[in-house]
A = this chain, B = another copy of it.
Amino acid sequence: MIQCPRGTRDFLPDELEKRRSYEAVLRGVAERFGFREIETPIFENAELFILRSGPGVMKELYAFKDKGDRDLALRPEMTAPVVRAFVDGMSNDPKPIKLFYFGQCFRYERPQSGRYREFFQFGAEIIGSATPETDAEAIAMAASMIKALGLKDYKLRIGHIGVLRQRIKNIGVPTDRTAEILQKLDKKLYDEARPLLKDMGVKDEDADELFALTETVGGTEVLDKVPGEAGDYLKKVVAYLAAMGVTDVEIDLGVVRGLDYYTGMVFEVEAPALGAEKQICGGGSYTLSELFGGEKVFSTGFAIGFDRILLAMEKEGIVYTPKNPDVYVVAAADSVRPDSFRIASQLREAGMIADVDIMGRKLGKALRYAAAIRARWAVIIGPEEIARGKVVLRNMDSGAQDEVVLADLAASIRA
């Protein structure tokens, strides 16, 4: 028996219907915010991801050569492809450009709870604008999406990577070692950061102050402790968020997105119920297009881990109500079998989900199948009834049956 490859999944109908319904919720929010969808290829030239993340990314890429010896890779995320598509085909469009995307991404890593090799991301990018309003718009949309899905227990934390970068620069860390320090700060590994900083000639008291800075956490009152322009900037972001009804935010200068291209505001949303893999959304403002051969363009974006947010919803006990077939049509005799198809066809044209017996089953067995697929109604076509222009309509919940004039069938089902 062949199975799907390790770390990938089949989504069978019940599960997929639920996922599509939540996907539609996210799409709806993005559209109402004036974002428009973009779709890029499943694979890209591997160079794209190396330019974005450094050569270290190769070890977690599904990389391969095509038959023309080109180095390709399945996309591990969608910001780089979207920015590439912007550089290639949209760079002259009026700014800002508000884009969203949804699709599979691939990472070669050990599968574990909430981590798959094929996983799904829903994300958005605002390209060509660098204002507090831009950042607020992105954060507000992420927050609206999470609320629209019904998730209750989450934490939205906003920081500013510029503050840490500035401090790191001021205390004498060489530019090419900034990323190394930021990675340690991201994971709060102060004990590992300290010897590194010492090695770079950073004074102990400066290291302590840097660590203290990443521990600047709290409500919006903490904004007064954020040094320099970043504090004023974040105050504006928070004010616009408040105007949009988003007030449940935490300020946290310890929010460090892993990648070099983030420049200013950064934010994360976590669902504490998920434990170690609790981050369900991450984003910030960045510049990336110049790496791909375009002009430098400021952008703000975020991505939601779709699999993970669904896991968080499950842990909160959010239940999906399936949309079941409206009706199952079955012929009670061979002579009226074509009528069953004619009537199913009419119900479909009337917009209903109408299934029909295609196996020539006896009535009892057909009705058991109708129950198994959770049809709300069964329409039973009998030779005598159909001769009188009627059919039998059976309520699959109660088992109650009634003769209905064919012309009234759709209306009776809707009632």
Distance between A46 CB and nearest chain B CB, rounded to angstroms? 10
| Subset of 27 A-B contacts with CB under 8 Å | A2-B47, A4-B41, A4-B81, A10-B41, A10-B85, A10-B88, A11-B38, A11-B40, A12-B90, A13-B36, A13-B38, A16-B38, A17-B37, A20-B37, A29-B348, A42-B74, A94-B369, A96-B358, A96-B359, A126-B358, A133-B357, A134-B359, A137-B358, A243-B345, A244-B344, A244-B345, A245-B342
In the bound assembly, the distance between CA atoms of A264 and B335 in angstroms comes to 25
Is there a chain B Cβ closer than 8 Å to A39's Cβ? yes
> Is A33 close to B, CB under 8 A?
yes
Q: Is A351 an interface residue (CB 8 A)?
A: yes
Rounded to whole angstroms, the CA-CA distance of A344 and B136 in the bound complex is: 13
A249 at the interface (CB under 8 A from B): no
Interface of A is mostly: mixed
Binds B, one of A61-69, A208-216, A269-277: A61-69
The listed residue (B240, B244, B294, B342) touching A1 by CB distance below 8 A is B294
On chain A, the number of residues with a Cβ less than 8 Å from chain B's Cβ atoms is 99
Q: A10-B39, A67-B108 are in contact. Are A34 and B87 (CB under 8 A)?
A: no
Specify which of A31, A81, A339 lies most central, judged by the most chain B CB atoms within 10 Å of its CB: A31
Chain B residues with CB below 8 A from A129, complex form:
358-359
Please determine whether B70 and A2 come into contact, CB atoms closer than 8 angstroms: no
Report the bound CA distance from A243 to B342 in whole Å: 5
Q: Within the oligomer, what is the number of copies of this chain?
A: 2
User: Shortest CB–CB separation between residue A337 and chain B, in angstroms?
Assistant: 7
In the assembled complex, how far is the CB of residue A236 from the closest CB belonging to chain B, in whole angstroms?
A: 9
Proximity string of chain A (285-304) to chain B, C-beta cutoff 8 Å, 1 when within and 0 when not: 00000001110000000000
A160 CB to closest chain B CB (Å) equals: 18
Given contacts A133-B360, A292-B1, contact A325 B95 (CB under 8 A): no
CB pair B341 A118 closer than 8 Å: no
Given A13-B38, A31-B353, decide whether A358 and B5 contact each other with a Cβ distance below 8 A. Answer: no
| Distance in Å: Cβ of A285 to nearest Cβ of chain B | 12
* Contact partner, A341, options B67, B108, B244, B292, Cβ 8 Å: B244
| Interchain CA distance A17-B352 in the complex, whole Å | 25
Q: Judge whether A391 is part of the interface by a CB distance below 8 angstroms.
A: no
